[in-house]
Amino acid sequence: MTQEVITLLSTREIDKMRRAGQLAAQLLDHLTPLVQPGISTLTLNDEAERWTQAHGAKSAPLGYNGFPKSICTSVNEVVCHGIPRADEILQNGDIINIDVTLLVDGYHGDTSRMFCVGQPSETARRLVEVTEKCLHLGIAEVKPGARIGDIGAAIQTYAELQGFSVVQDFVGHGISHIFHTAPQIPHYGRRNTGKRLRPGMVFTIEPMINEGTYEVEVLADKWTAVTKDRGLSAQWEHTLAVTETGVEILTLS
């Protein structure tokens, strides 16, 4: 992480985060009908970049620490940071996470969704549904005075009860005019541990849930993270603001 200090955002800054978040959600809405058997992940990337530019925004991942594309496309056993490719063609039964981050007026909107391509297996469909539920269970823990550990505990408890595992190598993160900042938001852990949440904190919750082992490895491209056992992985993500009374999801469509 690039910064240790947790910055509380002003109402004006949260307004900017909301605008960026809503545009990021609209981009995922725009890509949704394109996610079909036979399309390449590069085609999805190129359409995302075209749409982003047409809406006066920037793709934050493009060039970030050398990342070569505008979005992340993580298919089947890819946990996160999959790089779109012309030769990666979606097939019936695949599951794919599309992760987008838009830079609008200097602030970031970061969100991702899972998509089922054609007819996935029952296991794949259940993994996608459980992971989405994990995201919402994590969000439900967010309110002033709660602790960061409460978020991870809620997610881990539910995922493991369903027979799945929680990735520990990648976590949610603070976000503002800086793409990745404090605090880190693990998707596993114990209740009543970690920093207390305060109004003005803005961060992502983005659980990565695996069919088999929680262990991952990063491929030779230095970006693509895959499950160590090559089982399936799923992820959903929202950017959130802690409010005086609870939580606001900034990346709602």
Residues of each annotated binding site for substrate? 81, 180
d(CA 168, CA 135): 15
- Residues with Cβ within 8 Å of 63's Cβ and at least 6 positions away in sequence, in order, are none
- Residue 174: beta bridge partners? 181, 203
- Residues with Cβ within 8 Å of 140's Cβ and at least 6 positions away in sequence, in order, are 154
Residues annotated within the binding site for a divalent metal cation are 99, 110, 173, 206, 237
DSSP string, 51-115: HHHHTT-EETTTTGGG--SSSEEEETTEEE-PPP-TT-B--TT-EEEEEEEEEETTEEEEEEEEE
- Residues 160-180, buried b or exposed e (16+ Cβ, 10 A)? eeeebbbbbebbbbbbbbebb
Residues annotated within the binding site are 81, 99, 110, 173, 180, 206, 237
- Residue 100: beta bridge partners? 111
d(CA 50, CA 70): 10
